[in-house]
Amino acid sequence: EAQVTQNPRYLITVTGKKLTVTCSQNMNHEYMSWYRQDPGLGLRQIYYSMNVEVTDKGDVPEGYKVSRKEKRNFPLILESPSPNQTSLYFCASQFDGTTEAFFGQGTRLTVV
Amino acid sequence: ILNVEQSPQSLHVQEGDSTNFTCSFPSSNFYALHWYRWETAKSPEALFVMTLNGDEKKKGRISATLNTKEGYSYLYIKGSQPEDSATYLCAPLGSNYKLTFGKGTLLTVNP
């Protein structure tokens, strides 16, 4: 079954404690991206990657890092989380930018 | 940051009504326009991706049109049903091959 898998689904952490949210896709897609969803602000892109070892900043990259060492995985890293990074996060993958995106189940992160 | 406007922000219709909403985006540096349907507590799901001016796409009772010269797209739902209740998102693919989502139109269909 074609899918995008994010883990964990829910996470509560403390300010400053490094964390990683994993994202994996089994569709051999080249384009992957991370979004955060906040009330009233819609989905905002954090980072995207058009292929292995190629990553670019989205609209809200501050405080986040990503890596794309293999095609299937695109982890999101928060080196020093802060309360303003409390949000709902989605990973998505697509063959390229002109094809439909498949979204993961979402990760609800709370930073206290 | 690309300016993407969706209107209206929210919409209440009765079951059986037909409805439509708009997505406006900058017409320069345009590559594609995506539409997604997002139900509460779920993940967004793709409806259409359109690339050419004048494109029209249809999936069941839902259809969409695209005008790249003036920078807008319409989404139409014919004979709305309660299960159509969701937020409808559009996202143009612009320069740097980056997708930018609008804030969405929240549709509520009353039985």
10-residue stretch averages of pLDDT, chain B, 111 residues long: 90 96 89 95 95 93 96 97 97 87 96 93
- pLDDT on residue A105: 96
Q: What percent of chain A is modeled with pLDDT above 90? A: 92
A48 with B98: Cβ contact below 8 A: yes
Q: Which residues of A touch B98 (CB under 8 A)?
A: 45, 48, 56, 58, 97
Q: Which residues of B touch A37 (CB under 8 A)?
A: none
User: Who contacts A53 (Cβ-Cβ below 8 Å, separation ≥6)?
Assistant: A68, A69
- Token duo for residue B8: 């209206």
Sign of torsion, CA A35 B93 A100 B13? Answer: positive
- pLDDT on residue B83: 95
In a mutational test of the A interface, the residue from B66, B97, B105 whose CB has the highest number of chain A CBs within 10 Å is B97
Q: Specify the DSSP class assigned to residue A34.
A: E
Give per-residue pLDDT as tens, A50-73. 999 999 999 999 999 999 999 999
User: Is the pLDDT score of A97 beyond 90?
Assistant: no
- pLDDT on residue A17: 97
- pLDDT on residue A72: 97
Task: Please give the distance of CA B63 from its chain centroid, rounded to a whole number.
Answer: 9
Judge whether B107 and B77 are in contact, CB under 8 Å: yes
Q: What is the mean pLDDT of residues A15-41?
A: 96
Please report the residues numbered 1 through 40 in chain A whose beta carbons come closer than 8 angstroms to any beta carbon of chain B: 31, 33, 35, 40
Residues of B with CB under 8 A from a CB of A: 1, 31-32, 34, 36, 43-46, 49, 51, 89, 91, 93, 96-104
B103 with A103: Cβ contact below 8 A: no
Judge whether B108 and B88 are in contact, CB under 8 Å: no
User: Is the pLDDT score of A34 beyond 90?
Assistant: yes
Judge whether B61 and B72 are in contact, CB under 8 Å: no
pLDDT-derived band at A4 (thresholds 50, 70, 90) equals: very high
